[in-house]
Amino acid sequence: MADIRSLHDAVRDLVHDGDTVALEGFTHLIPFAAAHEIIRQGVTGLTLARMTPDVVHDQLIGAGAARKLVFSWGGNPGVGSLHRFRDAVENGWPHPLELDEHSHAGMANRYVAGASKLPFAVLRGYRGSGIPGRTDTVATVTCPFTGEQLAAVAALNPDVTVVHAQQADRHGNVQFWGLTGVQKEAVLAAGRVLVTVEEIVEGALEPRPGSVVLPGWVIDAVALVPGGAHPSYAAGYSVRDNDFYQRWDAVSRDRDTFLRWLDENVWNVRNVREGS
Amino acid sequence: MADIRSLHDAVRDLVHDGDTVALEGFTHLIPFAAAHEIIRQGVTGLTLARMTPDVVHDQLIGAGAARKLVFSWGGNPGVGSLHRFRDAVENGWPHPLELDEHSHAGMANRYVAGASKLPFAVLRGYRGSGIPGRTDTVATVTCPFTGEQLAAVAALNPDVTVVHAQQADRHGNVQFWGLTGVQKEAVLAAGRVLVTVEEIVEGALEPRPGSVVLPGWVIDAVALVPGGAHPSYAAGYSVRDNDFYQRWDAVSRDRDTFLRWLDENVWNVRNVREGS
Amino acid sequence: MSGTDGAARCGRDELMEVNAARALAGARNCFVGIGLPSTAANLARRTVNPDLVLVYESGTIGSRPTRLPLSIGDGELADTADAVVSVPEMFNYWLQGGRIDVGFLGAAQLDRFANINTTVVDRGPDRPEGRLPGAGGAPEIAANCGAVLIVLRHTRRNLVPALDFVTTVGHGAGPGDRAALGMRGAGPTAVITDLGVLRPDPDTAELVLSALHPGVTTEQAREATGWDLRVAPDLTVTQAPTDAELSALRALKAAGGRAS
Amino acid sequence: MSGTDGAARCGRDELMEVNAARALAGARNCFVGIGLPSTAANLARRTVNPDLVLVYESGTIGSRPTRLPLSIGDGELADTADAVVSVPEMFNYWLQGGRIDVGFLGAAQLDRFANINTTVVDRGPDRPEGRLPGAGGAPEIAANCGAVLIVLRHTRRNLVPALDFVTTVGHGAGPGDRAALGMRGAGPTAVITDLGVLRPDPDTAELVLSALHPGVTTEQAREATGWDLRVAPDLTVTQAPTDAELSALRALKAAGGRAS
């Protein structure tokens, strides 16, 4: 059964310098609070994996936590560029950022292979694209029945996966619903799993339409962090703070403005919502 | 959008002599009524695909509809042998029955490949087993990243898939819940799809915990057949008729007894429940 | 009200958006990228194709948003969908499964064979490569849909003689390339810009100017294109947006966070 | 009440079932086949391992049935589960994903290296092969769980010198074979029969008689085995079923459709 812990303690014990860390969430249920705790604890040298690194990864990269990014689309959805990401890639600030770049279909299947404990997955993808020339995690495989050549992508098995969910019960069983993205696969592919949740319910989880339920025995720690996805959202608990995403463009464009934001909103904040 | 049709008309137009037909359902939601209509219409030479052919396939095989069975476990769950299946395989009655035999993991992945429109799927399976020596749909593939050898199974793309569901709406959108087995994959792998349902609801389908929803545009025909899964069951509508499964052992053991049962329960029955 | 009047009443972006929506007439479903494609697809549902099934890569099938989503993961997309599936299922069973009629893409750079770059741009010898967001779903959307529509603003920066990087193949280096690569479907069938519509020449697969929006000249379009843009012999002028189209578009944008 | 009294009060099948349940003490979860394995696993939840997570190949995780299911798809398995997943997900993410501690299998034929045949049996030169149900989940259950338990009735027909067909590999032809085949986990660690318990010799991987049920003799076990069954030097006698075990077993069977 998963332990129910404070976010501070869970991050301290589960996320180590140099780890490959997947913080997943397809626009919905993005684990912002956990990412801020990772920054606060000064974890460095991370390989960050996510299909759609957006503002939370801009923050992690700008704060210097990352050495490498494994991804398929890095932008501020509907707004524009990720300026901290670009500054790291283009100018090496605050560190150079290595990239392992894929398409969405490729990244999704890398997690599927990881969750299935297979070394690779097969897809009809990357055809004619320059992407395979920039990564060593795309190759070709031949169908033994038809002779057709298909793309193979290497399994992605993060050291740690962090996701945010709506609910857990006292045994650490977790339920999330709405857009569930690739989170189940990212969790089952990982060596260690941390889930932040909006709510810990008494008694059994009430089944929801469209929900994913993960038993506590595949999770290492659950931390109660209401609002832990903000400015992303948790369906049924909050709505997406689109204004924040739009304001981020100005905050992140300038290094000093960003560093001030980081001081005020991450470094100097003890997350008072954390607890168990 | 799927047409809502009578079972008779849907079977007549969708199921043809010599087709590969998947009638799926993992104990739950087995499309018995549709199978009986296939028998009544005298369709022959079918290649029948199902992970767990049980009593309904005993009936189809005993009635002479099948030329070949693609499967991974053929028995009467909790009761014993399928006598009509055995009689066909061992004695060629009423016809010889060719077998393409797999493990569950292999069959499930054959449907996954079919639904994904890939020619094959990869799994860690069949190791040391004699099964690959009896089929041409298992082969070996080498991981281009690690060099590990893994099993490959050929995609299974039925000409027709038939499943039973709890609900459809007037547009032919379908919802089923409870044990959902491999039905989504079997449907999406097929060239044509027939769904029999317990109920056609007015207005929109009400989302259910754990449900699979298939939009009407991936389905060719929906037929209203309340009780169409009997002696299997439809969660929320009926319970499994375990007595029937136990009685089947005696009915099916003897050819004449079986033929009498078939006369009384299939050939001489117009399914009065069918309709639109 | 004449077509030219309609054009006068609206901006170039609106001409692009209205014509992009029109390109979805007759489609059963559309795999929708965020930004301009989402604007066009949502407008199509309010005008030329009320039954159009919107499929977003975040996992929603049959979404009916009341306002323009800012991101492909806005809550309303899930709340109003016929079905929500996981992201791996979306890409494997629905997109790769060949179930999508039209894929609708944006682009940062586009070449004459409708190949797309959304990865990096060359900013000259003294500057590092400029970083773009990356591939997202585009390579497999372009490979697996029945047809592909592309919408982007018509500038020399966007429509370039040679891509700095090939993220997504449209027609490769010309006819036969898609088939040789084992790609399904017709590939890009139209590029809708704020100046007009480009379509691949059936013989060469090269994009040619096939329609201009009202008030736009051939010279303007050629001037805004980074290659020597050929003009179709049967060049037409797009019908000006109707009142209904414009009011639907403006209502959609007013309700949404942002249009694109 | 003494052990021998307990044994006298119960049948051989009950001895098998109780000892099979005991073999699940300490396991976190168990991938349960229908029939005898399901009886044992459900009994374990009522006796030695109340927190045992039952996983059925029909897709249920954490089922808590109140009665013995006749089939792996009985409705109660889904109704009482923590989670229900699709069958492909069950085999790919949960079983192949290496998340299952113990796989519990039955068998039609078993050889001295705990390999299993559930496909066909040879009935002699003048008769066609006898058809069995087939593999089901067994080959991958045996390959991917942390350990495998096998339960079957102890007869020369079941425990054979050579399988007529290898459906599922236990220990192959001896030590090292599992690793050479790339199989995960310890493989079969115990075979529980109605006469006693066989375990693989740590050096040879050959099944040896390691325990007898009360009242059963070594000769009876050897006589009922199709190969020359070796006896472990530290042969023990299983503890007789307790009253609690027997009453739980009988209540379970009385409530169910059928025990196996």
Interchain proximity C258–A246, CB inside 8 Å = yes
User: For residue range B256-269, what is the model confidence (pLDDT) as tens digits?
Assistant: 999 999 999 999 88
Residue with tokens 């790609």: C183
A196 and A227 part of one domain: yes
Told to judge if C245 belongs to the known catalytic residues of this protein, a careful annotator would answer no
Q: Is the pLDDT of residue D236 over 80?
A: yes
**pLDDT recorded at residue C210:** 98
Query: Across-strand partners of A139?
Result: A152
What average pLDDT does this structure show over B82-105?
Answer: 98
The Cα of A99 is separated from the nearest Cα of chain D by a number of Å equal to 28
Read off the pTM.
0.96
B175 and B187 part of one domain: yes
Interchain proximity B152–A144, CB inside 8 Å = yes
- Sign of the dihedral through C-alpha B76, B81, B85, B89: positive
CATH number of D3-254: 3.40.1080.10
User: Please, is B210 exposed, middle or buried when counting C-beta atoms within 10 Å of its C-beta (0-12, 13-18, 19+)?
Assistant: buried
Q: What is the mean pLDDT of chain B?
A: 96
**Which among D54, D80, D93, D144 is the top mutation candidate for probing chain A, defined by the most A β-carbons within 10 Å of its own β-carbon?**
D93
Three-state SS annotation for A87-118: HHHHHCCCCCCEEEECCHHHHHHHHHHHHCCC
Nearest CA-CA partner of B193 in B38, B17, B23: B23
For residue A276, is it within any domain? no
Q: Is the pLDDT of residue B182 over 60?
A: yes
A146 and A24 part of one domain: no
**Which among B100, B117, B145 is the top mutation candidate for probing chain A, defined by the most A β-carbons within 10 Å of its own β-carbon?**
B145
Distance from C-alpha of B59 to C-alpha of B261, rounded to nearest angstrom: 10
User: For residue range D23-57, what is the model confidence (pLDDT) as tens digits?
Assistant: 999 999 999 987 889 999 999 999 999 999 999 99
Interchain proximity C257–A127, CB inside 8 Å = no
A38 and A162 part of one domain: yes
User: For residue range A134-168, what is the model confidence (pLDDT) as tens digits?
Assistant: 999 999 999 999 999 999 999 999 999 999 999 99
H/E element, A152: strand A149-154
Query: Would you place residue C8 in the very low, low, confident or very high pLDDT band (cuts 50, 70, 90)?
Result: low
**pLDDT recorded at residue D70:** 80
Query: Would you place residue D257 in the very low, low, confident or very high pLDDT band (cuts 50, 70, 90)?
Result: low
Nearest CA-CA partner of D34 in A69, A179, B27, A2: B27
User: Torsion angle, CA of A197/A200/A203/A204, rounded to 10 degrees?
Assistant: -10
Nearest CA-CA partner of D15 in D213, D251, D235: D213
Crossing angle of helices A255-262 and A55-62, in 10° steps, is 100
Residues of C in contact with B217 (CB under 8 A): 28-29, 53
Distance from C-alpha of C152 to C-alpha of A8, rounded to nearest angstrom: 46
Interchain proximity C82–B215, CB inside 8 Å = yes
Which of D53, D83, D93 lies closest to A115 in CB terms?
Answer: D93
Q: Tokens in use for C119? A: 């990865």
For residue A275, is it within any domain? no
Among B115-119, B196-200, C58-62, D1-5, the least confident range:
D1-5
C132 φ, ψ to 5°?
-105, 175
Query: Would you place residue B51 in the very low, low, confident or very high pLDDT band (cuts 50, 70, 90)?
Result: very high
Residues 35-54 of C with CB under 8 A from B: 53
For residue A86, is it within any domain? yes
Q: Is the pLDDT of residue C198 over 50?
A: yes
B109 and B210 part of one domain: no
Answer whether A191 touches D (CB < 8 Å): no
A117 and A251 part of one domain: no
For residue A213, is it within any domain? yes
The Cα of B127 is separated from the nearest Cα of chain A by a number of Å equal to 15
B51 and B179 part of one domain: yes
A208 and A189 part of one domain: yes
Range of the domain at A126: 104-154
Q: Is the pLDDT of residue D107 over 90?
A: yes
Nearest CA in chain C to B212: C83
In this structure, are residues A228 and A164 in contact, taking their beta carbons and an 8 Å threshold?
yes
User: For residue range A50-105, what is the model confidence (pLDDT) as tens digits?
Assistant: 999 999 999 999 999 999 999 999 999 989 999 999 999 999 999 999 999 999 99
B163 and B247 part of one domain: yes
Q: What is the mean pLDDT of chain A?
A: 96
User: Please, is C176 exposed, middle or buried when counting C-beta atoms within 10 Å of its C-beta (0-12, 13-18, 19+)?
Assistant: exposed
What average pLDDT does this structure show over D131-154?
Answer: 97
Nearest CA-CA partner of A74 in A102, A46, A96: A102
In this structure, are residues C229 and C221 in contact, taking their beta carbons and an 8 Å threshold?
yes
Decide: helix, strand or coil at residue D15: helix
Residues 6+ away with beta carbon under 8 Å from D205: D113, D114, D171, D174, D175, D177, D187
For residue A125, is it within any domain? yes
Q: CA dist A222 to A218, C65, D82, Å?
A: 11, 33, 17
The Cα of A151 is separated from the nearest Cα of chain B by a number of Å equal to 10
Residues of C in contact with A182 (CB under 8 A): 86-88
Interchain proximity C84–A178, CB inside 8 Å = yes
B184 and B150 part of one domain: no
A133 and A32 part of one domain: no
ipTM for the complex? 0.96
Q: Is the pLDDT of residue C74 over 60?
A: yes
Q: Among the three residues B94, B120, B154, which one is the final residue of a domain in this structure?
A: B154
B252 and B186 part of one domain: yes
Distance from C-alpha of B73 to C-alpha of D137, rounded to nearest angstrom: 8
- In this structure, how many other beta carbons lie within 10 angstroms of the beta carbon of residue C187? 25
Answer whether D155 touches A (CB < 8 Å): no
Answer whether C93 touches B (CB < 8 Å): yes
Q: CATH number of the domain that B81 lies in?
A: 3.40.1080.10
Distance from C-alpha of C15 to C-alpha of C37, rounded to nearest angstrom: 14
For residue B276, is it within any domain? no
For residue A202, is it within any domain? yes
Residues 6+ away with beta carbon under 8 Å from B212: B175, B176, B177, B180, B183, B184
Residues of D in contact with A112 (CB under 8 A): 92
Q: Is the pLDDT of residue D260 over 80?
A: no
- Of D57, D140, D206, D245, the catalytic one is D57
Distance from C-alpha of C47 to C-alpha of C27, rounded to nearest angstrom: 13
- The structural domain count of chain A equals 2
**pLDDT recorded at residue C257:** 52
